[in-house]
Amino acid sequence: MVGLFATALVLLTLSSAAFATPFGSGATSWAARFQSASQNTETSPAEQPQPRAYTLPPDKEARAIAYAHARHQLYFLDFLFTTVGLALLVQLAVAPRLRDWAEHISRHRFLRAVIFAGPFFILLGLLSLPAAAAGHWLERHYGQSVQGWGSWVWDALKGGAIALLLAIFLVWLFYGLVRRSPRRWWFYAWLGSLPILIFLIFVEPVVLEPLFFRFTPLAARDPQLAAELERVVQHGGQEIPETRMYLMNASSKLNALNAYVTGIGASERVVVWDTTIAQMTTPEILFVFGHEMGHYVLHHIRNGIFFTAGVLLIFLFGGFHALRWALGRFGAAWKIRSADDWASLPVLIFAILIFNFIFTPIDNAYSRHLEHQADQYGLEVVHGIVPNSSQVAAQSFQILGEIDLAEPSPSTAVKAWFYDHPPLDERIRFAQTYDPWDKGESPEFVK
């Protein structure tokens, strides 16, 4: 999450959360999906349950709470395990040994970067492997994933290989920059990270995501639904061509529901999961699409880039001073020569991980703000198209929570630390109370 190599470490590993703006809070066959859609379109929204708050049956509520608590504990255990592992790598002088090995084998700096960074990032990946495997086990145990372990390992290898190649290249660039500007590398690294960040966001939906899921034009799979979505687009006075609406075969690996906006510029698109279409009525899908359209229209990915750029600048500046202090005090004991030594990498990564950990509540608060705006836009854009739109929106959140096993009524601390979307109870209450039309007021986003 920091500068050039940190862009690989943080932005690549968290790119889904940061730059694809999802609808949800975190297998049906195609035949069943079409059957479900056909049945759902015949059901009046007024006949659906009208939730006044997000609730679950007692047994399911207990399961949702247990699932949430397990994920929260795993998050902290992963952070603790990773930071302790990095500290051990520093204390055991693993990075200096890799540096010496690289310098002994080759005089070419890029080859040295490959020899040093390759094994180092593999070790770093192994530190996060237990938590990743435990997370997948939790998703399978609580019915959120249907992906087998063989497929999961294959996905992990693909993602790890991409991250490794990118990280090696960025480490080479980064340390070349530190050598040339020992005092201002944090600023120049920030400038250099911006085009890389934008490039990663651009290629994610067209290069990276198709490595893990299949995407097909929505109009080709469901022309009737695509036509309904086009009504929503026109009502919002926007132009989102059908070529930017995609269906993702989430059901091949997941039971959870979701939709999201991803990409930037020519790669920007709205993606709806096939699980969402299978479980929701057409009016509910229109609201979900309206929410995603809000991200598209309100330029949330662009705004997220500006926000992330500011965070990167703070992290780099803090990393510069943290590295300078640590090496001044412990560099000799750690066998690290200077800031431009490859062996300083685990120290800098350790500092960035701490910064990111502390910054998490702020990041989540900003994300919740964007998601609330998207909810509001979705309500406005389907008003007049979807009968009883506020209740339809509330019901879509209720369905989302039931399928995704979202925890009811999380505490303030849990919300601040783990929720990048408003809790479903808040979203349902807002959907049922937001009504500027009856008050004679003008909607904020869709006039």
State the pLDDT at residue 240: 87
Q: Is the pTM of this model over 0.85?
A: yes
pLDDT at 239 over 70: yes
Q: Does the residue 444 lie in any domain?
A: no
Q: What does the pLDDT look like over 19-71, one tens digit per residue? A: 456 777 543 332 332 233 333 333 444 454 555 789 999 999 999 999 999 99
State the pLDDT at residue 140: 97
Q: Kindly state the tokens that stand for 165.
A: 């190649």
The one-character DSSP state at 249 is: -
Q: Does the residue 63 lie in any domain?
A: yes
Number of domains in the chain: 1
SS (H, E, C) 311-358: HHHHHHHHHHHHHHHHHHHHHHHHCCCCCCCHHHHHHHHHHHHHHHHH
Q: Does the residue 318 lie in any domain?
A: yes
The one-character DSSP state at 145 is: B
Spatial distance between the Cα atoms of 204 and 262, rounded to a whole number of angstroms: 8
Over pLDDT 70: what percentage of the chain? Answer: 89
State the pLDDT at residue 40: 39
For the chain, helix (H) and strand (E) counts, in that order, are 17, 5
Q: Does the residue 441 lie in any domain?
A: no
Q: What does the pLDDT look like over 199-225, one tens digit per residue? A: 999 999 999 999 999 999 999 999 999
pLDDT at 344 over 60: yes
Query: How many other β-carbons are positioned within 10 Å of the β-carbon of residue 408?
Result: 17
Q: Does the residue 443 lie in any domain?
A: no
Q: What is the mean pLDDT of residues 229-239?
A: 92
Q: What is the mean pLDDT of residues 427-445?
A: 95
Q: What does the pLDDT look like over 136-188, one tens digit per residue? A: 999 999 999 999 999 999 999 999 999 999 999 999 999 999 999 999 999 99
Q: DSSP 3-state assignment of 410?
A: coil
Dihedral in degrees, nearest 10, Cα atoms 20, 24, 26, 28? -100
State the pLDDT at residue 189: 94
Q: What is the mean pLDDT of residues 429-439?
A: 95
Range of the domain at 364: 3-433
Positions of E strands within 218-314: 245-248, 259-262, 269-273
Task: Give the least confident one: 37-51, 76-90, 118-132, 372-386.
Answer: 37-51
State the pLDDT at residue 22: 77
Q: What is the mean pLDDT of residues 270-294?
A: 95
Task: Give the least confident one: 80-84, 175-179, 256-260, 321-325.
Answer: 256-260
State the pLDDT at residue 335: 97
Q: Does the residue 194 lie in any domain?
A: yes
Q: Does the residue 438 lie in any domain?
A: no
State the pLDDT at residue 50: 52
